[in-house]
Amino acid sequence: MPRPKTTTPGAASDSAPAEVYQLRIDLREIKPPIWRRLLVPGDITLYKLHQIIQVAMPWDSYHLYEFSIGGERFGDPSEDDWEPPRNARRYRLNQMVREGQKFAYVYDFGDSWEHEIKVEKVLPAEPGVRYPVCITGKRAGPPEDCGGPWGYLEMLAALADPKHAEHDSMLEWLGGEFAPEAFDLEETNANLRTIKVKT
């Protein structure tokens, strides 16, 4: 398994966490599976974890989200919600989950992208490493607003068949080709380095 790269001298870095959580994030209802393995500071808020997942999958953070942990819901509360979730900005990962525990994350309640997150390990932070870091993953994340898991599969079928009635319109909607098997670890980590975890 590749190890995270250390920062270069003078590079921007947040203060080192005491522990990091190794998370396996799987997008449900998609085969072959789409997943990421991340190392994140244990003391981040659930809201910050949401931001990290958005970058790692990647999504564009256009829509609402929610974590489900131990029967409780965490997200962005709104006065318009009948039963608003708890405020994800007020709860930290290491307060809510432990090693071996699984919990759920849903993004975009319309498309309903459901993720299963497992805390695979709790590890000591390595000196000089800037977290969060993605250490591996498989396949590209689906585009925003493509209709959830079933819409995504229909999109792939249209793209794979030049004679499909929706082939050309789908390419136009995407703005070009889409490579569902592609996952760029280096680009993912470059994007994760833009996240300030201590805010």
Average pLDDT rounded to a whole number, residues 102-109: 95
Domains of the chain and any CATH numbers: 19-139+184-192 (3.10.290.30)
pTM recorded for the entire structure: 0.86
Q: What percentage of residues in the chain have a pLDDT greater than 90?
A: 57
pLDDT for 8: 34
Mean per-residue pLDDT of the chain: 87
Q: Where do runs of H (alpha helix) occur along the chain? A: 46-56, 93-96, 148-160, 167-174, 185-192
pLDDT for 2: 44
Assigned token pair, 25? 């994030």
Q: Are strands 72-75 and 86-87 parallel, antiparallel or unpaired?
A: parallel
Average pLDDT rounded to a whole number, residues 172-185: 86
Q: Please answer whether residues 58 and 74 qualify as being in contact, where contact means their C-beta atoms are separated by less than 8 angstroms.
A: no
**Residue 25 pLDDT grade (very low, low, confident, very high; cuts 50, 70, 90):** very high
- For residues 10 and 187, the model is more confident at 187
**CA dist., res. 123 & res. 77, Å (int):** 32
In sequence order, what are the beta bridge partners of 120?
A: none
